[in-house]
């Protein structure tokens, strides 16, 4: 049989709120601490370090940039931040006040694309600080996570019950979801071009195939509140169950596997493939959890041996 080990590593106090996580170009895990206003860094096997922003800035999602630095949203400060692997930090103000940026990802055009949850816009930020904003075709959509796909970006529209696509020319198309009030949050694009997304209210994982067909997979625990999602090299989607205290995986044919976390009510949020090939998730209890690669375990049928 096969199994995976799950381990937790303390990286901050319980009130700091590790939230999103990514693997940086330096082979370290970088993560946001939304409550304490910090960016953390952990090389597996070493001690964590942190970099302070304004305590009330609300650093939220963090992503690799096209320039070898890490870029992150500041949800409460309404800014975009940049931090180099050496710890040098820069902040960029946004044109729309109180826009509450949340998701961020590098685009195929060498710019950073981000969502403005409170302004119903998708933003584009060049590495030299130039910002362009694209209004969504509806209001109250609450655009959330965003991910790159070839020549476009995909994003979730949490309150519009849809996922959206924006081309590099700024043209936006909206794709409604089959389940009403599903409230999509996380989004990731697999190696086959399939778009995976979490439906936090419906308790489902959704996938839009390259041919445009949308399939929704109900989770065994419909109250699990799936939040963030990423994909591995095999195309398997991995997601956090914020309300279920688990990390789950789902294959393209809909097979779901769940991995319980050791600490009760740890509130897993962001998830990424780590530099060691394992899956890592940020826990609001002040830790990072590691879901190790599959290992083979040999079991012996003692009853058969005794009878022989």
Residues at the binding site for substrate are 227
What is the rounded distance in angstroms from the CA atom of residue 25 to the CA atom of residue 275? 9
Binding-site residues for Mg(2+), in ranges, read 267, 284
What is the rounded distance in angstroms from the CA atom of residue 68 to the CA atom of residue 161? 34
Contacts of 294 (CB under 8 A, 6+ apart): 2, 3, 4
Structure tokens of 301?
A: 């049928």
Rounding to the nearest 10 degrees, give the CA dihedral for residues 187, 192, 194, 198.
-40
Structure tokens of 40?
A: 């953390």
Give 204's strand partners: 199, 218
The residue behind tokens 């290992």 is 295
- On whether the CB atoms of residues 126 and 117 are closer than 8 A, the answer is no
Look at residue 109 and give its three-state secondary structure. Answer: coil
Short-list 116, 89, 81, CA closest to 100: 116
Q: Does residue 78 have an active-site annotation?
A: no
| Catalytic pick among 35, 78, 259, 269 | 269
Widest CA span of the chain, in angstroms? 78
DSSP class per residue in 240-297: EETTTTEEEEE-TT--EEEEE-SSTT--EEEEEE-TTSSEEEEETTTEEEEEPPPEE-
Q: Provide φ and ψ at 306, rounded to 5°.
A: -65, -30
Binding-site residues, in ranges, read 227, 267, 284
Active-site residue list = 269
């Amino acid at each position: 049989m096969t199994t995976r080990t799950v381990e937790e590593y303390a990286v901050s106090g319980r009130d700091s709120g590790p939230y999103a996580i990514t693997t940086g170009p330096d082979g370290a895990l970088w993560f946001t601490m939304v409550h304490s206003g910090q960016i953390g860094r952990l090389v597996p096997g070493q001690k964590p370090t942190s970099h302070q922003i304004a305590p009330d800035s609300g650093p939220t999602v963090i992503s690799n940039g096209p320039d070898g630095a890490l870029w992150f949203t500041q949800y409460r400060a309404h800014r975009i931040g940049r931090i180099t692997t050496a710890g040098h930090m820069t902040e960029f103000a946004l044109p729309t006040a109180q826009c509450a940026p949340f998701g961020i990802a590098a685009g195929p055009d060498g710019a950073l694309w981000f969502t403005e949850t409170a302004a119903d816009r998708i933003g584009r930020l060049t590495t030299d600080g130039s910002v362009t904003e694209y209004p969504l075709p509806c209001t109250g959509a609450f655009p959330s996570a965003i991910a790159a796909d070839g020549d476009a970006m995909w994003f979730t529209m949490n309150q519009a019950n849809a996922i959206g696509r924006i081309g590099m020319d700024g043209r936006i198309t909206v794709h409604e979801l089959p389940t009403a009030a599903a409230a999509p949050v996380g989004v990731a694009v697999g190696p086959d071009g399939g778009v995976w997304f979490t439906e936090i209210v419906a308790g489902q994982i959704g996938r839009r195939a390259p041919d445009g067909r949308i399939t929704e997979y109900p989770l065994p625990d419909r109250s699990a509140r799936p939040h963030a999602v990423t994909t591995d090299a095999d195309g398997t989607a991995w997601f956090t169950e914020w309300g279920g205290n688990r990390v789950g995986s789902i294959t393209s044919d809909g097979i779901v596997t769940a991995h319980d976390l050791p600490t009760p009510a740890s509130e897993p949020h962001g998830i990424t493939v780590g530099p060691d090939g394992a899956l890592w998730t940020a826990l609001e209890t002040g830790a990072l959890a590691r879901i190790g690669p599959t290992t083979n375990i040999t079991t012996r049928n003692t009853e058969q041996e005794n009878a022989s």
